[in-house]
Amino acid sequence: MTEKADIKSMHLTELTAFVTQAGEKPFRAKQLYQWMHQKLSETIDGMTNLSTGFRETLKQETTYTVLRPVNVQVSRQDGTRKYLFSLDDGNVIESVLMHYKFGNSVCVSSQAGCRMGCKFCASAGEDFARNLSAAEMLEQVYGIMRDTGERISHVVVMGIGEPLDNYDNLLRFIRLLTDENGLHISQRNLTVSTCGLVPQMYRLADEKLSITLALSLHAATQEKREALMPVAGAYDLRETVDACRYYFEQTGRRITFEYALVAGENDSMADAFSLASLIFGMNCHVNLIPVNPVRGSRFAQPDLETARAFQNKLEKNGIHVTIRREMGRDIDAACGQLRKRYMEEQGKGRWIP
C-alpha cells in the first residue's frame, strides 16, 4: 500500500500539484489550504465550497491530521494551559499555552520523546518514539486555538524533543506557520530552541529566516556542560558558540542563551564569570531558568538570592539577562512531565489525570 498524502504538511505549491493530479482546478488548492491553515477546519466534510466528490477523494486518499486534547490542565495561578494531545498512532505529546503582556504564546513539541538525554530533563530516559510531522506541530497551535478561541501571536519550539533532530519537518512547520495564506505568524515571533546540534545550526543560519535561535547552554565550561548534556561530548563548547555567532551574522537575530540554574552545579560566581567570558561582546540575551525539579532527579533550584547574584554578575559585564518567570508551576508545566506521568500510568494500565 502506498502511503497516504499528508496534505496538511504540504506547501501550497505541492498541494496545487496534488489537487490538479486529482483532476481539480488549481484554485481548489488554495481553498483547501485556507480550510486547513486559516479556518482550522476539524473535518474534510466541513469544507463546504469543495464538491462532495472531491471531499470523498480527500477522505479516502489523504491523511488529515487533527489533534484533539486527551487532557488539559489549567493553572489557577496564571491561567497557563497544558495540553496532552494524542496522535493517530497512540503516541502522546505535550503543548502549553501561556498568556503574556505581549500576547499568547504556544510551546510546541517537535518529537514524541527525545534522544538527547540531558540529565535534568523529564524527557531524558523516556522512550524516543518518532519525529512529528509538520502537520502534527501545526496542529498543536491550531488545536489550542480551536479549544480556547484565542489568538496566538508567538510560538516557541521548546516542548518535548530536539527540533534540529527533525530538521526537514521543522522547516516545513516554520514556513507553513508563517505563510501569508495560513496563520501568518511573524517569523520574528517564533523561537526554536536547540541543545546545540552544530551542523544543523549552520544549516538553519543559511536559510536566512528571521526566527530567534535559542541555545540551551546550561554550563560555561566544556567539562561542566558534558556532565549535564551528552550532546556536549559531540560538539565542543567553543564550536557551539561559534555556530551561534554565525547565526547572528547571517540573520541579524540576537541569540538567546538558556541557562538552567542548578544548585551547587553551575550557579557559583565562578560559573557566572566563565559564562560572561564565554559570550562577552556577543549580541545576545541570557535567560536564567531556575531548574524545574523533575521527580526522581537530584537537581534542585538555587535560592533567589543566588540567582540574583548570578544575574548581577552578568549584567555588570554588559550582558542582557532575565530570570524566567515560571509559568504554571502548579500544573507541572516543565515540559515532558505530563507525558512522563501518562506513560508511567499507562504502563500500569491506568491513567488518572
Instruction: Name the site residues for ligand SAH (rule: CB under 6 A).
Output: 116, 118, 120-121, 158, 162, 193-195, 216, 258, 260, 289, 291-292, 294, 334-335
* Closest separation in Å from C-beta 306 to ligand SAH: 16
Residue linked to cell 546550561: 218
Q: Exactly one of 24, 94, 139, 162 is catalytic; name it.
A: 94
- Cβ partners under 8 Å of residue 61, min gap 6: 4, 5, 22
164: which 3 cell numbers?
534540529
* Closest separation in Å from C-beta 114 to ligand SAH: 6
Catalytic residue flag (residue 335): yes
CB environment 217-248: b (16+ within 10 A), e (fewer): bbbbbeebbbebbebbeebebeebbebbbbbb
| Cα 170 off chain centre by | 9
Residue type present at position 184: H
- Cβ partners under 8 Å of residue 60, min gap 6: none
The partner residues of 190 in beta bridges, in order of sequence, read 155
- The SS3 call for residue 341 is helix
Q: Exactly one of 61, 239, 335, 345 is catalytic; name it.
A: 335
Question: Which CB sits closer to ligand SAH, 32 or 229?
Answer: 229
* Closest separation in Å from C-beta 302 to ligand SAH: 12
The partner residues of 191 in beta bridges, in order of sequence, read 156, 212
Catalytic residue flag (residue 258): no
Distance CA 158, CA 107 (A): 6
* Closest separation in Å from C-beta 138 to ligand SAH: 18
CB atoms within 10 A of CB 127: 10
Question: Which CB sits closer to ligand SAH, 50 or 170?
Answer: 170
Question: Which CB sits closer to ligand SAH, 62 or 191?
Answer: 191
Question: Which CB sits closer to ligand SAH, 84 or 334?
Answer: 334
Question: Which CB sits closer to ligand SAH, 111 or 178?
Answer: 111
Handedness of CA 346, 94, 126, 259 (dihedral sign): negative
Distance CA 151, CA 145 (A): 7
Which residues are marked as active site? 94, 335
